[in-house]
Structure 1
């Protein structure tokens, strides 16, 4: 019986190690994909350390309250917000609220708007509000294209062709001229009035739901560095590079509310 038991024990050992080898037939990058694989490959402790290091934090939220023809708003959006979003979109969320220092009055069933930089700015605000609503995830490059050009309103068709060629311009035009655009702009007016503290100028920058003079200054000096400093999870490679040089802004860095 002794030799037989020894033979059975040996067979059991080779079967178990053979199963482990088969179960661990994965490249190292997949060892921590599941608990079962980690156990089979004998790397549970290693995977626990990896999980601790790869903590996924909430993204940094940046909300911009602005108006389409304000030079300071355009400068911040073009030189700070969009480039930062391109590099750090995995760890930040951006919300754009085009309205700024406009004023609204109710006339019948519709709202009428007066904008700080004239009627053309009201049209620009409407266009961008419609883009945000209708195109959703791909609207930011279009708005960047408009705001970085010479003619914010006039550049819409070309910017749309570049960044959303399959989206009909007629849909944006119908929104701007119809009830939908009117309601979207009224909603932006409500969002702007609800700011706490109330906005005193634009661009008005809200970070993680907060606005302070210090946050505003840091965002306008270098939004990239601010987002990297506030993110609580593992930083992307872009954040670990050499200190970023603040990008130049317009000499006029705000449009005051009057």
Structure 2
């Protein structure tokens, strides 16, 4: 049986405190695909309006461009954790690209061009295909069923392990590593994203 999850995380803390630590110990049994759009709206000419302003839209576009350029979930996960652990994600792209050993220039060019707009629009189109359709955040689906009790937000590692149908790895019996917290207070930019998780067979 293939267990799948879809999460719409409205807080950077979810990625830093739950998704990334779980990924570090269970990536051998997880497939993750992130869709950085969330509660944004695309308008005429693919201009975007985000719930928390232009900074949130820029952070979403940085992620969309990085995802397209990296084409590697391991690099993407490290980059996104860096981005969302930073003091201000819209300005952290260059630092985080360097941290994961990637060239920032093509990502920056994407963010500041129609390429980035097209990629973010593609993410929006994919998000609109969700069943059941998104109508609030955080939006969490486990095996295409709404996670009404929110367990994934509080203990994603347990949800992944409980839904994995193969032989459980030893990591399922140990606590997740602690999140790496930023050293200074963040400004109120928290990009939204949908995240699809599936257990590997």
TM bracket, shorter-chain basis: 0.7 to 0.9
Aligned to 1:99: 37
C-alpha separation between the residues in 2 aligned to 1:156 and 1:245?
A: 25
> 2:150 aligns to what SS in structure 1?
helix
Unaligned runs of 5+ in 1: 1-56, 67-71, 248-254
Q: Does 1:81 align with 2:15?
A: no
C-alpha separation between the residues in 2 aligned to 1:130 and 1:177?
A: 10
Q: Does 1:238 align with 2:171?
A: yes
The structure whose residues are more often helix, as a share, is 1
Q: 1:131 to 1:63 in 2, by over 3 A?
A: farther
C-alpha separation between the residues in 2 aligned to 1:175 and 1:207?
A: 33
Number of aligned residue pairs: 178
> 1:201 aligns to what SS in structure 2?
coil
Aligned to 1:117: 52
Q: 1:119 to 1:188 in 2, by over 3 A?
A: same
2:87 equivalent among 150, 167, 186: 150
C-alpha separation between the residues in 2 aligned to 1:183 and 1:126?
A: 10
Aligned to 2:68: 133
- Normalised to the residue count of structure 1, the TM-score between the two structures is 0.63
Structure with bigger gyration radius: 1
Unaligned runs of 5+ in 2: 180-191, 193-201
Aligned to 1:64: 7
C-alpha separation between the residues in 2 aligned to 1:170 and 1:96?
A: 22
C-alpha separation between the residues in 1 aligned to 2:112 and 2:145?
A: 33
- Normalised to the residue count of structure 2, the TM-score between the two structures is 0.80
Aligned to 2:188: none
Q: What are the Cα deviations for residues 184-229 of structure 1, in whole angstroms up to 9, with x where unaligned? A: 1111111222222221222322334x14133x61101201001111
